[in-house]
A and B are shown apart, each in its own frame.
Chain A
């Protein structure tokens, strides 16, 4: 891939963005390429592509298992960069991973080598769940040098000065964590979402909400609440897991991913229409 639109363009259209997540290399390299491309066909506007780390402390069981499958199948940072070059999609790809992999890459200590390589293969930005704003200066500096975005996660517990600090460092979009806890599909949408969105109402970056979103109705609800985008991970990884367990053909799993992606994108669009009708912005 190359010359994909940036995050500003992806979020700049007059409709809510759908941002799916998959772990690269789950359950193997070839199948995973097909799955990521299926998400793009299903209407993804941005894709968060996970680079598996052995100690994913922010992930629930679904994504932990995906990471184990991908690592067992041989995924490494270098394979990941090849993956990004091989996958044929025309939406921005954001690298979601943990700081140690970014820190260790290349010969020099610190994040610069990783960010340089990421820019080289066409990645657009980063989400790093174990890197709070306090420790982010070196990565922010490297991102600025190579023109990449650094997305921060706003949690339901984030308030006051911490919000200000993040607001200064964030670019691309802000990841609004819909509920406390780890990643994982749920059957409802948390009220914490509305409160979190209200706290950052005046931020200029687009606001994408994730954690626990599973269905089109959830996506609609989130967009009605004011989100500019909807992030969905575990509900999609569940499809990969089921397909892998039951030895389903890769094409069949890809079709199901595409269908679910479409449902989620449609849900987001429906939410936007309902919001407009209700006289919102």
Chain B
């Protein structure tokens, strides 16, 4: 394998032999169509992102937050991309690439359902049959997205092993792919997996930071002091960071899910957080060497976060590398701070963010001095899918920011 598939010590291609020819085929297609724009692939991709996806997304000045934190806070509104999250950038790119490669079936895993939804939309848009694997826990906590996938014509296959979250869904999708590899493309949903996936998914999402950069130059006449993005697997994170990699004056801050605690229960194999960049150790999972939440034997831990989309025991190998080199600063906030961030953005700015995104705002609230004079926060997705979870989780806690839903009691449920 060429060394381009490695990020320092991280990355690589740790997959069953049956998949290796498909990985080679994909690498070839990635280099031809994505890197070299063969047959005008990138032109068609950008055109469809504009017309179907609604790019470019705005860079919005956040009046209330800026006042509250005494900084210029800008929001990169990926929640306004078609589907309500940044995920479409990658899903559309990969489904289109599968079409150029002559594949006739799409499979994907999903955690929060945002990637599954984006893939289902892209597959419907490009007329490809599509099956999504989703853990049973996630199916139950992200019902609206299950409806959306079904409405777009995708099959949704529940994964019942383990805790039934993203980790198990990825394993199961890889098993499907190992069986159907000759006709099927696996649209992986983050910057994880074997090379070339981490590079390719980053490239499809890097349109986020490309626009951020241009918009900052135009609007501010300068680059921001910091870019803040939440990080689970890390796709919105790398999308928001990629084009700033060489701009050393721009600090890149990845906000992970601190869950309920950073402590780890080795006995039960549970890490009650998803703070892989902050607390993980190097290991091999799902095709790549990267930082992982694992026990001392190397068994993968069950992660936890109130937000399904961050609930993963691994992280993209490139992000792991950028943390080791000091380019990216990993930080984390807990479930409570994320929920407060959710309510605050909803009340102060009129934007209901995804719970994943809310972690970035939780961090901003706790560390207003850590982001410089001008910061851009990536609003990676909108929170419609999370309403049920947020109402339930909020009721169980004593938060600084809260919302009263007693109107339903007052109305008495009478029709």
Q: Given the complex of chains A and B, what is the CA–CA distance between A105 and B283 in angstroms?
A: 11
Which listed residue, A100, A135, A177, touches B298 by the CB 8 Å rule?
A100
| Interface size of B in residues (CB-CB distance below 8 Å) | 37
Closest residue of chain A to B25, judged by CB? A157
Which listed residue, A77, A135, A156, touches B13 by the CB 8 Å rule?
A135
- Would you give the shortest CB distance from B264 to chain A, in whole angstroms? 15
Contacts of B8 in A (CB 8 A): none
A135→B299 contact, CB < 8 A:
no
Which listed residue, A56, A77, A104, A155, touches B294 by the CB 8 Å rule?
A104
Which residue of B13, B15, B294 has the most chain A CB atoms within 10 A of its CB atom? B15
Which residue of B17, B283, B284, B292 has the most chain A CB atoms within 10 A of its CB atom? B17
Q: Given the complex of chains A and B, what is the CA–CA distance between A208 and B16 in angstroms?
A: 17
B299→A99 contact, CB < 8 A:
no
Q: Mark A257-280, 1 if CB is under 8 A from B, else 0.
A: 000000000000000000000000
Contacts of B297 in A (CB 8 A): 76-78, 101, 104-105
A155→B17 contact, CB < 8 A:
yes
B284→A100 contact, CB < 8 A:
yes
B16→A58 contact, CB < 8 A:
yes
Contacts of B284 in A (CB 8 A): 98-100, 103, 130
- A229-276 contacts to B, CB under 8 A, are none
Q: A68-B161, A104-B283, A134-B1 are in contact. Are A157 and B18 (CB under 8 A)?
A: yes
- Would you give the shortest CB distance from B185 to chain A, in whole angstroms? 15
Contacts of B286 in A (CB 8 A): 55, 57
B296→A104 contact, CB < 8 A:
yes
| Interface size of A in residues (CB-CB distance below 8 Å) | 41
- Would you give the shortest CB distance from B415 to chain A, in whole angstroms? 46
Closest residue of chain A to B168, judged by CB? A55
Which listed residue, B16, B287, B292, touches A153 by the CB 8 Å rule?
B16
- Would you give the shortest CB distance from B146 to chain A, in whole angstroms? 23
User: Chain A interface mostly helix, strand, loop or mixed?
Assistant: loop
B161→A64 contact, CB < 8 A:
yes
Q: Given the complex of chains A and B, what is the CA–CA distance between A131 and B13 in angstroms?
A: 8
Q: Given the complex of chains A and B, what is the CA–CA distance between A135 and B175 in angstroms?
A: 20
B298→A101 contact, CB < 8 A:
yes
Q: Given the complex of chains A and B, what is the CA–CA distance between A55 and B161 in angstroms?
A: 10
A54→B16 contact, CB < 8 A:
no
B298→A182 contact, CB < 8 A:
no
Which listed residue, B21, B182, B282, touches A159 by the CB 8 Å rule?
B21
- A98-151 contacts to B, CB under 8 A, are 98-101, 103-105, 109, 129-132, 134-135
- Would you give the shortest CB distance from A24 to chain B, in whole angstroms? 14
- B165-190 contacts to A, CB under 8 A, are 167, 171, 174-175, 178-182
A154→B298 contact, CB < 8 A:
no
Q: Mark B292-305, 1 if CB is under 8 A from A, else 0.
A: 10101111100000
Q: Given the complex of chains A and B, what is the CA–CA distance between A60 and B174 in angstroms?
A: 11
Q: Given the complex of chains A and B, what is the CA–CA distance between A156 and B21 in angstroms?
A: 10
B178→A58 contact, CB < 8 A:
yes
Contacts of A152 in B (CB 8 A): 17
Q: Mark A24-54, 1 if CB is under 8 A from B, else 0.
A: 0000000000000000000000000000011
Contacts of A182 in B (CB 8 A): 175, 178-179
- Would you give the shortest CB distance from B108 to chain A, in whole angstroms? 16
A177→B14 contact, CB < 8 A:
no
Residue B128 lies at the interface, judged by CB distance under 8 Å to chain A: no
Q: Mark A60-84, 1 if CB is under 8 A from B, else 0.
A: 1000100010010000111000000
Contacts of A78 in B (CB 8 A): 297
Contacts of B12 in A (CB 8 A): 134-135
A57→B16 contact, CB < 8 A:
yes
Q: A55-B300, A109-B282, A162-B21 are in contact. Are A130 and B179 (CB under 8 A)?
A: no
- Would you give the shortest CB distance from B74 to chain A, in whole angstroms? 39
Residue A158 lies at the interface, judged by CB distance under 8 Å to chain B: yes
A57→B17 contact, CB < 8 A:
no
Residue A2 lies at the interface, judged by CB distance under 8 Å to chain B: no
Contacts of A8 in B (CB 8 A): none
Q: Given the complex of chains A and B, what is the CA–CA distance between A77 and B16 in angstroms?
A: 22
- Would you give the shortest CB distance from A169 to chain B, in whole angstroms? 12
- Would you give the shortest CB distance from A68 to chain B, in whole angstroms? 7
- A189-209 contacts to B, CB under 8 A, are none
A53→B17 contact, CB < 8 A:
no
B16→A155 contact, CB < 8 A:
yes
B18→A177 contact, CB < 8 A:
yes
Closest residue of chain B to A161, judged by CB? B24
Closest residue of chain B to A71, judged by CB? B299
- Would you give the shortest CB distance from A173 to chain B, in whole angstroms? 15
Cβ contacts A to B, 10 pairs, < 8 Å: A57-B174, A77-B298, A103-B284, A134-B12, A135-B12, A159-B21, A180-B181, A180-B182, A182-B175, A182-B179
Nearest first, the 10 A-B pairs at minimum CB distance are A104-B298, A181-B179, A155-B18, A157-B21, A100-B284, A54-B299, A100-B298, A155-B17, A101-B298, A58-B16
Interface residues of B (CB under 8 A from A): 1, 12-18, 20-22, 24, 161-162, 167, 171, 174-175, 178-182, 269, 282-287, 292, 294, 296-300
Known: A130-B14, A134-B20. 15 other contacts (CB 8 A): A54-B269, A54-B299, A57-B174, A98-B284, A100-B292, A103-B283, A130-B15, A132-B16, A135-B13, A153-B17, A158-B21, A162-B24, A177-B18, A181-B178, A182-B175
